[in-house]
Amino acid sequence: MISRAHSLRLLALLPTAAVLLLAACAITRVEPPAPEVPAAQFKEAGDWQRAAADGAMPDDWWTLFKDPVLDDLQRRLVVGNENLKASIARVASARAVYEASRSALWPTLSTGLSATRSGGPTSAIASGTQNPANSVSLGVAASWEVDLWGQLAQASASAQAGYQASADDLAAARLSAQATLAQTYFLLRTSEIQQSLLERSAAGYQRALELTQVRYQGGVASRSDVLLAQTQLKSTQAQAIESAAQRSQLEHAIAVLLGLPPSALTIARNDRLPEPLPVPPMLPATLLERRPDIAAAQRRVAAAYAQIGVADAAFFPALTLSASASYRDSTLANLLRAPNLFWSVGPSLALTILDGGQRQLASAQARASADQATSNYRQTVLTALQEVEDNLVLADRLHSEAQLQSESLQAAQRNLEITLDQYRAGTVSYLNVVVAQTLALNSESSLLGVRSRQLAAVNQLLKNIAGRWQGV
């Protein structure tokens, strides 16, 4: 039976418990606001609509370029890239933090066995105790912090959002590495074609030099014509050597991206650029919203606002339920006996009264961090919009530029043929030939540069929208 005194003590605790429960119900969690997207359409590609659903980033988006060598390099990238390995480790660390925050919601149980031998003044013998004395203890203790104010739950929510953000960071790092590899590969092929162009031009200049030397020996051409032909030939040969060196450096960069030493990778020459993809006239918002960097920024907003709840919960007392039981005796043989059992159970409340304003400052800091995370999210969206706009207009303009540059090359090649015929007939000087050859070389080199920039723009656009676009 419960004694009258014990009943009175229980009744006396009811007002305190009611106040605590009412306070717990009064606490509200601070939810992050929905950040506004600062634009409703892409200026350079027609209308687009906002979409709430998350989209997964497509795998193997680089296969749109239809280059088997690039496909093989991309497969090796995700296995060997050291930066991606570091990002994977960061995700594992964030997951461990999240799991640890979840475990804080559950009770803890511990056990221990101890043995001591102690002594004191000889006068202790008069009290009937041995000197020195032996003590053996076997105990079990349990404790559980009741999450009345949601502090532990908010901390777990913050850790979960941080873990999800780190996973999004990994996806963003992988996407960035894949785009960097594709761009480096395109530059390598461009250098190969540029080297071939210069070597082919040098071969033509060599034939022109031989023709000029024959004309000089026949007294038709001047010495300056020969020197001009030699200058043009040597300059073009030097440019070819520079292109070869650039190609080697790009091959080394690809090896490092794959996690290999530069000497361990050899890419066979191809002298062919993939065809630039046609860019669709309209891009929906779902393509932008699946970007992992935007998802990571949004997760960090949620984590920051959860930290506000953690900081505000520190203003309220912490309720801990604890229990312990132990056996104590002077010998191990007689330890587990009922007279040697000691136990305790009960709750405890702890509330910080004075802390010099630390809790207020922590709450203010959490709110400032949430504002910062929100601004970072909005800036990430703005940057994403700018990147898509930039590469949309660049891909469109480069397509038109490539057409014009192709027509210019045809005219320059035809002009070179006519000028060479005129030089052989002796109607023009060799300077006209040099000008025509330079114009033809520059036109072909410019066309190659435009095609390379087209691939770069499309590659960056695919990165900006985190993979394929619809209809491809």
244-253 residue pLDDT tens: 999 999 999 9
CATH topology of domain 42-107+150-316+360-464: Outer membrane efflux proteins (OEP) (1.20.1600)
Residue (of 313, 347, 321) closest to 106 by Cα position? 321
Q: Please check the confidence at residue 128 and state whether its pLDDT lies above 80.
A: no
Which pLDDT belongs to residue 93? 94
354-371 confidence digits (pLDDT tens): 888 999 999 999 999 999
What residue type is 269 in one-letter code?
A: R
Question: 47 with 282: CB under 8 angstroms?
Answer: yes
Indicate the range of 11-20, 158-167, 248-257 predicted with least confidence.
Answer: 11-20
| Cα–Cα distance, 200 to 272 (Å, whole number) | 15
Which pLDDT belongs to residue 283? 65
Question: 247 with 188: CB under 8 angstroms?
Answer: yes
309-323 confidence digits (pLDDT tens): 999 998 999 888 899
Indicate the range of 10-14, 289-293, 337-341 predicted with least confidence.
Answer: 10-14
Tokens of 301: 């907003």
Percent of residues, the chain, with pLDDT higher than 90: 41
Question: 154 with 307: CB under 8 angstroms?
Answer: yes
Question: 52 with 290: CB under 8 angstroms?
Answer: no
Sorted by where each begins, the domain ranges of the chain are 42-107+150-316+360-464
- CA dihedral defined by 417, 421, 426, 428, rounded to 10 degrees? -20
Which pLDDT belongs to residue 4? 43
Q: Please check the confidence at residue 286 and state whether its pLDDT lies above 80.
A: no
The SS3 assignment for 290 reads coil
Question: 210 with 226: CB under 8 angstroms?
Answer: no
Among 20-34, 127-141, 278-292, name the most confident range: 127-141
Which pLDDT belongs to residue 199? 92
- The residue ranking higher by pLDDT, 244 or 55, is 244
Question: 139 with 302: CB under 8 angstroms?
Answer: no
Place of tokens 């919960």: 313
What distances in angstroms separate CA 345 from CA 147, 196, 358, 449, one per listed residue?
A: 19, 86, 32, 79
| Cα–Cα distance, 121 to 452 (Å, whole number) | 93
Q: What's the gap between Cα 239 and its chain centre?
A: 38
Element (H, E) at 319: strand 318-329
CA atoms within 13 A on the CB side of 91: 17
For residues 222-242, average pLDDT = 91
Rounded to two decimals, the pTM is: 0.78
Place of tokens 């709110």: 367
| Cα–Cα distance, 192 to 318 (Å, whole number) | 69
Q: Please check the confidence at residue 49 and state whether its pLDDT lies above 50.
A: no
Mean pLDDT for the chain overall: 82
Tokens of 380: 């990430």
Indicate the range of 171-180, 238-247, 260-269, 460-469 predicted with least confidence.
Answer: 460-469
